[in-house]
Structure formats: C-alpha cells, structure tokens
Structure 1
Amino acid sequence: MNALFLGMTCLLAAAAGYWVLGRGTPRPTGTWAMGALLGSFALGFASYAPLFENAVEAVVPHVARLLSNCASLAAATAVLAVSFQLNLEPAEAQRRIRLRLVLFVTSAFGMTALFTYGQMTHRSPQAYALYLLMFISYLGFAIVDFLLQAVRQSKSTRRSSVRIGLRMAAAGCAFALVYAVYKLTVLLSLGLGFHLIPDHSECSSLFAAPCVFSVTSPALAVLLICLGLTLPAVVYPVSQARRRRWEVQSFEALGSLWQDLSAAMPEIVLSSADFAEDASNDSDFLLQRRVIEISDGILALRPYRCRGVQEMAKGAFDAGTEEGAAAVEAAVVKAALAASKTGRFADEVALPSAEAASRKDLRADTEWLLLVADAYAHRVGRVADGGRPERVGA
C-alpha cells in the first residue's frame, strides 16, 4: 500500500513540476490549472498511504481525512479550471473559474471549521455529518459539471487523442461518482443512526469492502482523469516527431524526380531570398517547397505531354488503381522531359491526371507525388526512340 500510493505521489508531483516549471515561456493555456490538478492529486494519493497517514496523525489526530478531502476538492476545482480554459473564451472561463474557486474555498474553510469543532467535542456525529454533507455537495457538483463538459467536448473534437483522453476522463468521473455515492451512504447511515459502514476501518486490501469504494474508486478516478487530461500533451510531441520523420523521408524520396525536373527547367526552383532564414531547416517548409517545385515543373511540361504515350502507358499499367495511375503519370512525365530536351511539342496534349486534380492539401499532394516519383524511378524504364518510356522488365 505504501509503495503504491507513495509511488503515485512522486509520479504526480514530478508531472506537476514539469507542467509548472518545464513548459517554457510563454506558458500554454491551462498550465497553472494543470499543475494544481496534478499537485492536488499527489496530495490525495499521499493521504491514502499508511506511512503518511500515521505521520500526520501523530501531530493532529484524524487530520489525514481532512487533507485527503480538501485535496479531492482542490483537484476537482482544477479539473474544471483546465476544462474551462481549454474550451471557453478567456473572459467566460475566468468568470466560471472564480465562481468555482469561491465555492471551493468556502467548502474547504467550512470543512476545516467542522473538523476542528469535531475534535474539540470528541468527534461529534452531527459535526461529522455536516462535514460530509459539505464535502459531498461540492464534489458531486464538480464531478457532474466536468462529466457533462467531457462528454460534450469528446463528441465535437477532431483530434483523436483529445477525444480518447476526454472519454478516459469521463470514465474517471464515473468512478468518482461511485465514491461520492459511497460518502452519501455513509452520511445517510450516520443521520439515520444505522452505522452500516465502519467509521474507522483500516484498508488492507484494495478490493475488500468498504475499501473498494473509499480508496480504490477515487484512486481509479484520479488515474483515469490524469491520464485523460495529459494524453493529448503526451501524444502531441510523438505525433510531431512522426510527422517530421515522414516529411524528411518524403523530401528525400522526391529527390530523383525533382533533380530531373530542376535540371531541365532551373526556373522552377524557388529563390531562397523569398523565404525567412529560420525556415530553411524546417522539414515542413522544405517538403512544401519541393512539392511546389515539382508541381510547377510538371505544369511547365504540359506542351510536351503526349497523349499517345499516356494511352500506351494505360495499356501497360492498371490505371484503375492509384499506383497504376501514378505509373501512367510517371511515364508521361518521363517522355515529356525527353521531348522538352529536343524541343519536340506533342501532337496531341495528354490530359492532366485525374488523381492529381483530386488532391486538395499538401499531404495529399505529397502522397500522390511520392507514388509518381517511385514509379518514375522504379517502374518506368528508359525513354526509347520516339519519346516513349519503356516499362521496367519489358
């Protein structure tokens, strides 16, 4: 138990430190709220550890419960703050956050006052019942508030990592509601005098009643909410690294086609003076520039694109597939390049590729040109007499 909860405490505290101190400047929206969230969860996990509980209760008897409950309310408030800052306009987010902070401070102050009064009156049942009522009221309100926002936003977001993260957080809210219902049951049991649930039973197992409700459920809620809210931040740098790797590989794969086009038509190469100096090493910029230059080169070859070569290539390759259409285009481009060197215009100009015309963004354009470049280098052979490219292996 100590190893589990103290280990989670250290992990969450490290994550909180990263969000607050390691995010650089300017700090992203929600940085401080996320740091408060992770720090509150860290304190909550620490309060569940028997070692921590024994240490603090040696100073103030039974204070671990107050620390745990206040940490839970602080975490719930921070969760709402993160959600508001990410999903609402700044002015509306600040207004809602201020209201939740007032409710949190009021609840925490009231709980502390009732805890102190209960200690002075030898743990008055009435004081403890009011304490639980104040705790459950704000916690339940915050859980339902965030659950509704998480479900609503998960339906509208386009990023899969955000959608999955919000659904994980919503699942965490479900476990948190189980904990809130358990606390409400304790309150009703005390109010009606049934004493159905032991007031001070120590947990030796995470799966034994009532520990499964009092410890396991909130622990799972914390874990799922933390994972759900941090998943997009973890996935984003990974996806960016994969994107840059794809850009570099695509840039290199287009090299052979680009070299032949730029050698025949140097004017298609864009001037470096037209771009910012700090963009010269950016993979996105370099790839976009290469795609533009290749597209300009293919467009400049239009008078040399022979319809006969296109029809012959359609007979050699299956133009009904994407790869076949790319091979047809590569054959036309290779023949057009050969014709441009001799100044021989096409008797009948080949139609532009329908596949190329259907591409609407940089990535789609790049994926099409990658197929064309691969066919140009590996599937279409040398250009025979008459300007007709031979198929490799023919």
Structure 2
Amino acid sequence: MNSVFLGMACLLAAAAAYWVLGRGTPRPTGTWAMGALLGSFALAFATYAPLFENAVEGVVPHVARLLSNCASLAAATAVLAVSFQLNLEPAEAQRRVRLRLVLFATSALGMTVLFTYEQMTHRSPQVYALYLLLFISYLGFAIVDFLVQAVSQSRSTRRSSVRIGLRMAAAGCVFALVYAVYKLTVLISLGLGFHLVSDHSECSSLVSTPCVFSVTSPALAVLLICVGLTLPAVVYPVSQAQRRRWEAQSCEALSSLWQDLSAAMPNIDPAFDEAASNDSDFLLQRRVIEINDGILALRPYRSRRVQEVAQGTFDAGTEAGAAAVEAAVVKAALAASKAGRYADKVALPSAEAASRKDLRADTEWLLLVADAYAHRVGRVADDSQPEPVGA
C-alpha cells in the first residue's frame, strides 16, 4: 500500500509542479487552482500511506487524519475554483471562489480546533462527532456543487476530450459521495452511541470493510477527478500534433493538382511571406484557396460533354465517383486551356464541392479530387477527354 499511495502522491505532486512552474507565461486561466488541486490530492494520497501516517503520528498522534481531511477539503475547493474560472465570467468566478475559500478556511480552522480539543479529552466521541459533522458538511456541499456543474457542462461542451473528462470527474464525485455517506454513517453511529462502524482501524486491504469506503472510494474519486480535469490539457497537444501532421500530409497530397493549376495559371500563385512557410495551417489554407481559384479560373474551359462522359464512366452517386468526375473535367479543362479551346457548353459546378462549408471539409473533397486526378484519370485523348486509367 505504501508504494501505491506514495507513488500516486509523487505523480500528483509532479503534475502540480508542471501546472504551476511549467506552463510558461502568461499562465492560462485556472493554472493556480489546478496546481492547488493536484497538490492537495497529492497530500491526501500521501496521508493514506502507512509509512507517512506512522511518521507524522510519531510527532502528533492521529494527526494524519486531520491532514488528510483538510487536504480533501482543499482539493474540493480547488476543483470548484477550476470549474468556476473556466466556465464563468471573471468577476462572478472570483466572487464564488472567494466565498468557497472563506468556507474552507472556516471549516479547516474549526476541524483543527475540534481535533486539538479531542486529543485533550482523550478522543471524546462527542467531539469527534462534531469534527465529522463539520468535515462532512463542507465536503458534501462541494461535491454536490461540482457534480451539478460537471454534468451540466458535459452536456453543453463541443470538445469530446472536455466532455469525457467532465464525465470522468462526475464519476469521481459519485465515489466521493460514497465516502461522504460512509462518514455520515460513522457520525450517526457515534451520535446514537451504537459504534456500528470503527473509523480508527488500520487498513490492510483496499477491498475490506470499512477500508473500501474510507480509503478506496476517496482514492478512486481523487484519481477520476484528477484524470478528468487534466485530460483536455493532455489531449490538446496530441490533437494539435495530429492536426499539423494531417495538414502537412494534405499539402503534399494536393501538390500534383496544385502544380498543374499554378503552371497553367501563374496568377493564382502570388509571392508570400517566407516566414509563414512553416505554418502548416497557413500553407494548407493557401493551397486549398489556390486550387479552388484555379478551378474557378478554368470555368470557360470546363466541358459539359466531358462531364457527362465521365459521369457515365464513374459512379457519380458516390463521393469518390463524384471526385473522379470533377478530376476528369479539370484535367480536360487544363488541356483545353493550353490549346486555347473554350468549351461549347460549360460544365455545371460540382455539387459536392458546393456542399463543403469549412476548410477541413473542403480539403477532404480536394484530396479525393487530387487522388483521382493523379491515379484514376489517365491521359487526355485527342478529343480533350481524359481516359480512365486502364482504358
């Protein structure tokens, strides 16, 4: 158990250090609250380890419980602060965070006073009951407050990583509520004098009673809430790297079509700032715009007869078939442009191209056209009609 809890504590402490020290300047909104959250959870995990517990209680008897409970309340407060700062206006978030900090400070001070008095009265059950009441009241309030926010925000967010993270955090809140109910049961047992649950026994197993409620449930709550809240921050750089890779690959895949269009119409390829040449997003947008401009400039040369023949050759009812038809029309139009022959009847614009409303959709369409242009449509015959590959 020492390795599990101390290992998690070190991992969370390292994550807290990264959020506070490794985020650069200016730091994103919620950085300090997230650092406090991870640091509080690190302390809470450390207090569950028998090695840490024996060390601190060798100085002050039973103080590990106070440290663990205060760390849990601090983490609950930090969770709320992160949620407020990310989802509310700054003024409203600051007001709510300030109120929760006052409640936390009051609860922690009250618990410290009651813990001290409890030790002076030889662990009086009545004083311990008051201690538990104060702890459960604020913890339950914070858990329910965050659970409501997490569920509500997971339904409205568009980012899948945020949605999944909030649902994981909400699941962590459920485990935290199990822990709070367990503590409430201990409180009622003490208040009525039944002593049904022993809250001071040492845990030798994470699945034994009452350890499954007093240790395992809060540990799972900590893990799920931490992973849920940090998941978007971890996924974002990965998704950005994947996006840049897709942009670079798309630029390369479009190069054949783009080169033929820019060679035929140099005006679509003006000079640009070389400093931006390493920006894959800029390069892809530029290439897509230039290809579309080139296709638009070829309009007088786009033959409807070629389009109709291509529709009979390829299955124009599918997306790939429609792209092959468009590639055939473009290849024939380029040949006609070089020969100076205008089309007798201008081909209709591609319905698939017109349906694309954003850069990614437009790029995906042009990737199909470029692939068909390079691989599915062969040379242009004497009648300016491109022959399918293999014909």
TM range (shorter): over 0.9
Residue identity opposite 1:141 in structure 2: F
- List structure 1 runs of 4+ shifted beyond 4 angstroms: none
Compute the displacement of 1:124 (Å). 1.8
**Counterparts of 1:22-33 in structure 2 under 5 Å?**
22-33=22-33
Does structure 2 retain, via aligned residues, the 8 Å contact 1:270–1:289? no
Shift of residue 280, structure 1, vs aligned partner: 2.5
Question: What SS class does the counterpart of residue 272 from structure 1 fall into?
Answer: coil
* Aligned partners of 1:29 and 1:86 also within 8 Å: yes
Once the 2 structures are TM-superposed, how far is the Cα of residue 131 of structure 1 from its aligned partner?
A: 0.6
Amino acid in the other structure paired with 1:90: P
Distance (Å, rounded) in 2 between the aligned partners of 1:155 and 1:200: 41
Q: Alignment identity in percent? A: 87
Q: CA offsets, 1:135-168, max 9 Å, x none?
A: 0000000000000000000000001111111000
2:322 pairs with 1:325: yes
CA distance in 2, matches of 1:123, 1:388: 95
Unaligned runs of 5+ in 1: none
**TM-score, with length taken from structure 2:** 0.99
SS of the residue corresponding to residue 379 of structure 2 reads strand
The worse-fitting range, judged by mean Cα deviation, of 380-389 and 116-125 is: 116-125
State yes or no: 1:302 paired with 2:305: no
Q: For 1:198 and 1:380, how far apart are their aligned partners in 2? A: 79
**Deviation, structure 1 residue 271:** 2.8
d(CA) in 2 for partners of 1:199 and 1:300?
80
Aligned to 1:262: 262
Matched, 1:235 2:235: yes
CA shift digits 1:88-125 (9 cap, x unpaired): 00000000000000000000000001111111121122
Match of 2:349 among 326, 347, 352: 352
Q: Secondary structure at the match of 2:383?
A: coil
**In structure 1, how many angstroms separate the alpha carbons of the residues matched to 2:267 and 2:275?**
24
Contact 1:270 1:293 in 2 (8 A): no
Q: C-alpha offsets along residues 60-100 of structure 1, whole Å, 9 cap, x if unaligned?
A: 00000000000000000000000000110000000000000
Question: Which of 283, 288, 291 matches 1:286?
Answer: 283
Amino acid at match of 2:356: R
Could you tell me how far 1:199 is from its partner in structure 2?
Answer: 3.4
2:381 paired residue among 367, 376, 384: 384
State which of 325, 338, 342 in structure 2 corresponds to 1:341: 338
Residues 134-283 of structure 1 aligned to structure 2 (within 5 Å): 134-273=134-273, 278-283=275-280
The match for 1:128 is 128
CA contact (8 A) 1:73 1:138 kept: yes
Aligned to 1:3: 3
**C-alpha distance in structure 1 between counterparts of 2:275 and 2:181, whole Å:** 57
CA distance in 2, matches of 1:70, 1:336: 74
Alignment coverage as a number of residue pairs: 391
TM-score under structure 1 length normalisation: 0.98
Alpha-carbon deviations, 1:259-288, whole Å to 9, x = none?
000000000013315xxx643210000000
Specify every segment of 5 or more residues in structure 2 that has no aligned partner in the other structure, as ranges.
none
User: Counterpart in 1 of 2:48?
Assistant: 48
